[in-house]
Every structure is written in C-alpha cells, then in structure tokens.
Amino acid sequence: MASFAKRPFGYIPPNCPLDILYEDDHYLILNKPAELLSVPGKALSARDCLESRAQAYNPDARIIHRLDMATSGVMVLALTPEAHRHIGLQFERRYVSKTYTACVWGQVHGDSGHIDLPLICDWPNRPLQKIDFERGKRARTDWEVISRHSNHTHLRLHPITGRSHQLRVHLLSQGYPILGDRLYAHEQAFTASKRLMLHAESLSFRHPDGGAHMHYTTPSPF
C-alpha cells in the first residue's frame, strides 16, 4: 500500500469559478471541484483552496469541515462565529447527515451492506490510514448499489462517522478500491479513471438560526 502514496503528484488546482449552491447571512453552501484543497497546504504553491476562494467572495467565510482534495461535492462554510460554532457542534455530535457516490473496481456482492472497522493513521506512510482493531477509532459506513457495469460498481455511501479517508479505506478493505484513487487503488483501478470517483452528493443539518432542517444536494459528475 505504501508504494501507491509515492505515485507522482503535483498540485494544479482547477481553474473554475466558485460554485455557490446556496447562501444566506449565516453560511455558504459550495460545490467543491475535484483536485482543489479544502484549506491551504503548507507550501506556497498550495495556498489556493476552497476556503481562500470563498474568502475572496466573502471575507467572513470559514471552513467547518473538509473534503479530501481529490473528492468533489457539497460543503458548508460559516459566515458568522455563531454559525461556525452551531454547525461545527452538529458535525461533532454526528447530527449532520451526508451521502456520497463512488465508483469502485469490481462487482460488489449484494445490494447493500454495512462496514464497521476501526481506523488509525498509518504514521510511517502518512497520510495513509489503516484498519487497527487495537488502537483505531470506530468508523462505520453504510452502502447500497446504484448500478453495475462491466468492471466497476456505482455505489451510494452513508458514512455514520467521519474519519479521515474512511470511505476509501473501508471500500478497499472489502476488495473494492475506488477508481482513480492514487493513494489506495491497485494499478488497474487507479488508471481506470482520470480522477478519484468519489463525490459528496448531499449534506443535511439544522439551520443555526431557528433550527430548520436544511438539505442540499449536488448531482454526481459520474
């Protein structure tokens, strides 16, 4: 697995406008493109990110949660300290509901299932994560099949927890790496797609002003 992390990589953020799905006085809902960092990286060449682009639009915008650079999809950014605290607590207490879509290598057995495997950072090979039954933190994912194809399966994923690389490692553990995954996929799965085939499709939470149930979706690009 460690060798996959050494595949050539250079940060070239996509040249596209900010995709605003919704905004009010409290938060922004954005559709993050694949290959854009959620927050700035350490290198000067990695300053361009979703948060910096949002702050160019509204200087008050602040990240509440993250998506992996290679993952696309719906994200919420706070516009006030109160919204940041309120929605952040919803993430922390697992009141937020999320769905993803993914294309994985192979023919998945069954139409739905549940993965409950603890995860921990693989420190010698970071940022890779791994399953560790002794020291790992509990991680849970529900999944269902959307469609089947000749060499891959299209899935909808419901993460119950939000561990780093959870969906990627959980699916890999079942023998189904996500197509285009430069960190975890074997060569056939990696070269089967020009991008990581993982997309944050929907996000639901309570509005920080009044508590109304809010639900946002952005169609999968694959």
> Hey, which residues are catalytic here?
68
- The Cα 35–Cα 213 span in angstroms is 30
Q: Are 64 and 84 in contact (CB under 8 A)?
A: yes
Residue 222 tokens read as: 């694959």
Containing 53, the helix (H) or strand (E) segment is helix 50-57
Residues 6+ apart with CB under 8 A from 26: 78, 79, 80, 82, 83, 207, 208, 209
**CB environment 22-54: b (16+ within 10 A), e (fewer):** eeeebbbbbbbbbebbbeeeeeeeeebbbbebb
Q: Tell me the β-bridge partners of 144.
A: 112, 156
Gap between the Cα atoms of 67 and 73, Å rounded = 8
